[in-house]
Amino acid sequence: MFRKYYIVAISAIVGLCFAIGGSFFSQVNAQQSPRIPTVNTNQANAVDLAFVNEAAQFGLANIMLGEMALQKSTNPSVQKFAQAEIAEQQNVKQQLTRIAPQLQVTLPTAPGPKYQALMQRFSQLSGTQFDTAYLDEGGINAHLEAASLYQREAAFGRNPSLLTVANQGLPIINQHFTIASSLTSYRFAQVPRRYNEASAPTAPSAQ
C-alpha cells in the first residue's frame, strides 16, 4: 500500500517537473527565437527623398503647362492630352501630399527654375507653334524624363508607398508618351510598364 502511494507521489513530482520545465524552455525558446523584422512604412533612403522632391516639382510644372495648353491651344487633340496630363499629375500630387508628412518632408510649392524658364518661353508662343512646343516638351521630353525618374525610384527606392507611386505611374507615363508620339510622329523605345519589365525597342526617329 505504501508502495502504491510512493509511486503515485513520484509520478506527481515528475509530472510537475515536466510542466515547470516545459514552461521554462518555452520562455527560453521565445527569448532566443529571432523576431521577424517589421517593415517601417516611414523608412526612406536618399533615392526616395529625391523622388519626392523631383516628382512634386515635375507634377506642379506639368499641371501649369497643361492649364496653359487649355487656354492657348485650339487643337482638340492637344486639349485632350493636356486634360489627361493634368489629371495624372493631380493624382500624383495627392499621393505625395499624403506620404510626405510620414517622411517629415515638405513638398515644394512651386516648380524649380528649369520649369519656370520653360513656362516663360511657352507664354510667348501661340497657335501651332505653341502646340508643337507643348507636345515636344510636355509630351515627349517630359515623359522621357518622368520615365527615368520613376524607374530610378522603382529600382532603388525603399519606401513602400513611394514604390507604389512609381510602379503605378509607369504605365500612365507610357500611355501618355505613346499618345504624344502619335501626335508628333515621334518614335522611340516604349517605356516599360514596371521596372525590369521587358519592352520591344524600336529604332528612334523624329520628324
Q: What is the pLDDT along the chain (207 residues), one digit of tens a residue?
A: 444 444 444 444 444 444 444 443 344 344 443 443 333 445 899 999 999 999 999 999 999 999 999 999 999 999 999 999 999 999 999 999 999 999 999 999 999 898 999 999 999 999 999 999 999 999 999 999 999 999 999 999 999 999 999 999 999 999 999 999 999 876 554 545 554 554 444 444 444
Handedness of CA 158, 159, 164, 170 (dihedral sign): negative
Based on C-alpha coordinates, what's the Rg of the chain?
Answer: 30
Q: DSSP string spanning 57-110?
A: HHHHHHHHHHHHHHHH---HHHHHHHHHHHHHHHHHHHHHHHHGGGGT-PPPSS
* Residues 111, 60 contacting (CB under 8 angstroms): yes
The fold of the 46-184 domain, in CATH, is Ferritin (1.20.1260)
Model confidence, pTM:
0.70
